[in-house]
Structure 1
C-alpha cells in the first residue's frame, strides 16, 4: 500500500521507527527482479529521519506467469537462476539505490520442499549482500518445535538464522480468511513460536512479527469462494463496532468489544443480541467442560466400552443436556435508539465436529496396569504399563498383545497410536489380515505371508521422547475387503491401502511388534457401523431443532444413533461435505424468540465428542465476528518480545493498517545508539 496514512506515519512518527522494508520487487522463476514500487518515494523521509534503515524486499508474489510455489521450485532447482537472482539484487537494488541498507527476502508457500535446496536461495542472496558490505534479512513463516501449521516445512530456523543478519517471523494468520474466527496471533501460539525460534536463532537477530490489522468473518455465509473471512485495518474494525459501517441493510448498531485474554486483541460480534460461552450455564448433566488453546468448550464424551464388554457401546445421547438462560435484548444504534432485528432472530451455535468413528467396542488410552491385564492377553510379560506423567501413560513392549475375546465372524476395525522406541516392525491383525509398518517406512497389507498391497512412506522417527514421533494406523476388515488407514494422528488418517480379501474369520484381533514399541491409544470398533460426531439438538420454547447433521446417502440408521453404509464403502464416500477440525457454525433461522423476553434453552449433545463453543442470538440474516489489534495489543507484545525473549524488536505487518495511537505510546523512547547512524 502507499496511502495518506502511511505517509503521515512516516512524516510524524519516523523517530520511533528503526527499519522500514520496502516491498518493491518481485522475483520470477528465472531469478529476474521486477520493480513494483518506486523506492525514490522515500527520499523525503530519508532526509528527515537519517537513522531509519531502509531494506529492499523482493517476494515470490505478483508474477504474471508463475505462482509462488512454482517460483520457489524454480529457484530451488536451478543454480543459474540463483546466480541470476544474486546479480539482480546487486544491480537492481544495491547499485540502483545505494542508500538501501540491506536486502529483505520474503519467500513463501514453499510447501514441504527440500530444506537444503531452499536454503541455497537465501545463501546466494546473503553471500552477495555480504560481499558488498550489506546485510541480508528474511521474513520467515512461523514454526514451533512440532513444525509449521501452514505446511511450510522447508524452514529450518537454525540454518537460515546462521546465514542471515536478521529474521522477522511472520507469526500471524493463525486464524485467517479460510478458518473459523479467532485471534490472528493467539497468545499460546506466539509463546510456542518464540520459545522455539529464540532457541534456534540468536535473539539479537530476531524480531517478533505482529499483525497491525484485523480479520472479519461472516458466520452465516461465505465472502469469497469457501472463505468466510476477509482482512481489514484497525480503523475498519473501529468503524464497524461504532455503528458507522453497516452491511446488507442491517442496523447501524454499535456493540461492546471484548479483549481476548490470550492474544490481547479486541474481538466482538455485530448484529448480536445475546451470547454465551459454553460454560455460562444454568445446569448440566452428563457433559464435561474444558479449555483447549484458550477456547472453552462443552462436550459429551463417548463410553470407553460397552456393557457387557466386547459388545458395541450404546453412545446415544441418554439424559445428557445443558441449560442456558438467554435474553435477546434490544441494542443501541448510532442514533441512540433501541433496535431489534428487522425480520427476527437466528440462533447460531459454534461447534467443532469430527469425522464418524467405528462404533465403539473398546476405547483404551493406556490408563493402568490393571486395564492392560484385563483387556489383553500376551505371551509372557513383554508388555508393561508406563506412567509417563500424571496425565499421560503408555503400554510399552514387544511381541504379541491380543484382545482377550473371540470375535467369531464379525467385521472389525482396529486402530493404534504408537511410536517406535527401537527399529523394527509394528502390525495390526484382524481376522487373519495384517497391516504392517516398518520403522523404515514400508507399509504392507498382508494375509499370512502374502503381500496384498504395499506403499513406502518416509522413514519413521525412532527413539524419540514419550509422546513424540507418534503415528496412527488402523485396519478395517469386512467380509470381502480390507483397508489400511494411516496418518500423523487419530484425527488425521487417510486410506492408503486396500484389497479384496477372504478373511480367515478366526475371531482374533491383536497387535505385534518385532522390537520395542510404545502405544498410548488403542481403539477397537465395529467394521460396519459408525458413530457420528457432528450434531446436537436444541430445544427452545417447546420446539426442537437438530443442528450440525451432515447429509449422507446410501446408509441406514439403527435405534442407537448409529449408521452403516449399504455398500462396502468408507464413511466419507457417503457424503459430499467435508468435516474439518475447525470451529463451524450451524444455524436455527427464525428461532422462536421475542425481543427482550428471557427464556431457557436446552442443548442435548446427540452425538458424542462434539465440542460446543459459543452460542449466539443474532440477526435473522446473520452477523459478523471480528478480531483485530489495537495499540494495547501491540504494546503488550512489544513488552513481551523484549522481556520474555530479549528479541531485537517487533515487526509490524504492515505500516498504515495499525492503530496509530501505538506510536504515541513510544513517545520519549530512546533509540539504541546503533540505530541513529546513517548506514550507506
Structure 2
C-alpha cells in the first residue's frame, strides 16, 4: 500500500475516486515504457527543486525557460538565476539547453522576431551572444521557441534557425526548435503560417511538436491533448520531417472550467494532474475516460457552480507514449516540469 500511495502521490487523498487510474508496481519493478525514446521537458528557474528531481530519472534533456532578446540583439536572462538547474542537470547526466524566446513583457512578440530575422547584423549579434552564453553557463545547446511568427517571415525564420545550428554544431552544441501543432502545410492562423515544417526540420537537429492546448484557458472544456488530434499533427509532421528528429509534446497540466462555458467570458483555472484527482476526491466526483480523446475528465459542484475538469493520468500518458512508439519517433517532450506527476515519470524512468 505504501508504494501505491507513494507512486501515485496519494498522501493527501483520503480515499480513492471512482474511475481513478493507478500505477501499480511491485517493489523493484520498473514501469518504464520508454525503450530507446529520448525524453525532454521545459522548466522555469523558479521550479521547486524537489519537483524537478522527481522528473530527473526520466529525462535525457532539460529545456531551461527562458532567455529573451532585445531589438538590439542583446540577450535577456531569466528573472531568476538558472545556474543551479544547469549544474543539477549535468550531475544527473542530463543535457541542459538554453531556451530562446521572443518574450516582451511576458508575451510572445512577433515584432521582435521580425526585426531579428530581417536584420542580419542583429541576427549575428544574437547568435554571438548565444554562443558566448552557452559556453560560459555550461549549456549543451539551444532550443528556439518562437510563436506567432508572421507569415512573411516564414523563410527568414527557418534560415535563422539554420544559422544558429551551423554555429552551434561547429562548436559542439545542438539546436532544437519548437513547432506549433500543424496538420497541413497551408493551415491558416497566426500560430501556424510562419512555421515551415520542412525547412525548420531540415535546419534543426530535432524538433519539438507542441501537441497540446486544444483545451485551453479561454476555450471550451475539452482534453488538453486529445489523442486523435495529436495523431493528426504527428502524421502531417512525418510527411515533412524525418521521424528520428521528432519529439512529440505531452502536457503536464490540466484545466478546471466553471460552467456554463461562455466564449470570451469563461476562463479555465490551470491546475496539476495530481491536483485534479484530489479535487475529484474532495468533491465526490466520478472520473470518466474519453475513448476518442484517450483522456480522463470529470464534473463536480462547488459553491453552487458546476465545474468540468480535463487532465492526464497514467492511461492517457500510456496512450501518448504508445503513439510515439507506433510512429518510431525520436521521443517525447513535456510542457512542463513545474508540477508533480510521479507516476508519469515512473513510466519513463531510464
SS at 1:637's partner residue?
helix
In structure 1, how many angstroms separate the alpha carbons of the residues matched to 2:150 and 2:217? Answer: 19
Q: Give the superposition deviation at 1:65.
A: 9.8
TM-score w.r.t. length of structure 1:
0.42
Counterparts in 2 of 1:80 and 1:628: CA distance versus 1, 3 Å:
same
Does 1:628 find its partner at 2:330?
A: no
Question: Which structure shows the higher strand fraction?
Answer: 1
Counterparts in 2 of 1:656 and 1:181: CA distance versus 1, 3 Å:
same
Q: Give the superposition deviation at 1:264.
A: 2.0
In structure 1, how many angstroms separate the alpha carbons of the residues matched to 2:151 and 2:286? Answer: 43
Question: Which consecutive unaligned segments of at least 5 residues does structure 1 have?
Answer: 244-252, 272-340, 342-618, 670-680
Does 1:264 find its partner at 2:331?
A: no
Q: Give the superposition deviation at 1:210.
A: 0.9
In structure 1, how many angstroms separate the alpha carbons of the residues matched to 2:228 and 2:315? Answer: 18
- Tell me the residue number matched to 1:211: 251
CA contact (8 A) 1:26 1:35 kept: yes
CA contact (8 A) 1:174 1:186 kept: yes
CA contact (8 A) 1:167 1:206 kept: yes
Q: Give the superposition deviation at 1:204.
A: 1.0
Q: Per-residue CA shift, 1:593-622, capped at 9, x if unaligned? A: xxxxxxxxxxxxxxxxxxxxxxxxxx8x43
**Mapping 1:72-87, distance limit 5 Å:** 72-87=113-128
CA contact (8 A) 1:631 1:660 kept: no
SS at 2:276's partner residue?
helix
Does 1:665 find its partner at 2:347?
A: yes
Counterparts in 2 of 1:171 and 1:67: CA distance versus 1, 3 Å:
closer
CA contact (8 A) 1:29 1:66 kept: no
Does 1:20 find its partner at 2:62?
A: yes
TM-score w.r.t. length of structure 2:
0.80
In structure 2, how many angstroms separate the alpha carbons of the residues matched to 1:233 and 1:185? Answer: 14
Q: Per-residue CA shift, 1:343-382, capped at 9, x if unaligned? A: xxxxxxxxxxxxxxxxxxxxxxxxxxxxxxxxxxxxxxxx
SS at 1:636's partner residue?
helix
In structure 2, how many angstroms separate the alpha carbons of the residues matched to 1:625 and 1:164? Answer: 39
Larger Rg: 1
Q: 2:220 aligns with which of 173, 177, 180?
A: 180
In structure 1, how many angstroms separate the alpha carbons of the residues matched to 2:280 and 2:218? Answer: 22
**Mapping 1:194-233, distance limit 5 Å:** 194-220=234-260, 226-233=265-272
Q: 1:103 aligns with which of 122, 142, 159?
A: 142
Greater RCO structure (CA 8 Å; 6+ sep): 2
**Mapping 1:568-583, distance limit 5 Å:** none
Q: Give the superposition deviation at 1:2.
A: 4.7
In structure 2, how many angstroms separate the alpha carbons of the residues matched to 1:657 and 1:150? Answer: 30
Q: Give the superposition deviation at 1:42.
A: 2.4
Q: Give the superposition deviation at 1:3.
A: 5.7
Tell me the number of residue pairs that the alignment of Structure 1 and Structure 2 aligns.
305
Aligned-pair Cα RMSD in Å: 2.5
In structure 2, how many angstroms separate the alpha carbons of the residues matched to 1:200 and 1:176? Answer: 27
Counterparts in 2 of 1:146 and 1:125: CA distance versus 1, 3 Å:
closer
In the TM superposition, structure 1's runs of 4+ consecutive aligned residues that sit over 6 Å from their partners are none
Q: Give the superposition deviation at 1:653.
A: 0.6
In structure 2, how many angstroms separate the alpha carbons of the residues matched to 1:42 and 1:65? Answer: 21
**Mapping 1:414-425, distance limit 5 Å:** none
**Mapping 1:46-445, distance limit 5 Å:** 46=89, 48-50=91-93, 52-61=94-103, 63-64=104-105, 68-92=109-133, 94-98=134-138, 100-145=139-184, 147-148=186-187, 150-151=189-190, 152-220=192-260, 226-243=265-282, 253-271=283-301
Q: Give the superposition deviation at 1:198.
A: 1.5
Q: Give the superposition deviation at 1:35.
A: 0.7
Counterparts in 2 of 1:128 and 1:107: CA distance versus 1, 3 Å:
same
In structure 2, how many angstroms separate the alpha carbons of the residues matched to 1:58 and 1:69? Answer: 14
In structure 2, how many angstroms separate the alpha carbons of the residues matched to 1:96 and 1:164? Answer: 22
Q: Per-residue CA shift, 1:486-524, capped at 9, x if unaligned? A: xxxxxxxxxxxxxxxxxxxxxxxxxxxxxxxxxxxxxxx
